[in-house]
Structure 1
Amino acid sequence: MIQRIFVFFERYSFGVCSYLGEKFNISSSKIRLFFIYTSFLAVGFPLVFYFLAAFTLDIRNYIKKARMKYWDI
């Protein structure tokens, strides 16, 4: 059951933890734990940061895809 939950979150997550892990050369599981623990301590403020980062990364990927389509023509 726990494994299915992990697979669900890894498949449908926004890629924020993996992006930050690649940037700072840290394991993405450690970053996930950091977000979870600080969310409990800071009453959800890191979740706001997480969703803003997810939104920013989504827009960034969308712009990159649109730019590639434009130059492929």
Structure 2
Amino acid sequence: MHSFISNTRYFFERHGFYVSSRLADKIGMRAKSVRLFFIYASFFTVGIGFVLYLILAFWLKLKDLVYTKRTSVFDL
């Protein structure tokens, strides 16, 4: 298992155009920290999109409950 993870990491480091490494050199950080930042940022943005979707769905459901068309006065 450890070998698979190392081989996968090596593949992406070798063929990843060294974006994280070059950015880390320019900033003065470790490349691992830059990669972790991008991973956490991607999870964070996906999470925000999902939460926004749930809020909109809840809001639309409430709107439908409040503005339902009633055919007569006795439908309350």
Q: Place the TM-score, normalised by the shorter chain, in its bin.
A: 0.5 to 0.7
Name the structure 1 match of 2:26: 23
TM-score by length of 1: 0.55
In the alignment, structure 2 segments of 5+ residues that lack a partner are 47-76
The structure having more radius of gyration, on CA atoms, is 2
Residues matched between the structures, number: 43
TM superposition shift of 1:34: 0.4
TM superposition shift of 1:15: 1.5
In the alignment, structure 1 segments of 5+ residues that lack a partner are 44-73
Identity of aligned pairs, percent?
44
TM-score by length of 2: 0.53
Measured in 2, the distance between the counterparts of 1:20 and 1:10 equals 13
Query: Which aligned pairs between 1:1-73 and structure 2 lie closer than 5 A?
Result: 1-43=4-46
Q: Which structure carries more relative contact order (alpha carbon 8 Å, separation 6+)?
A: 1
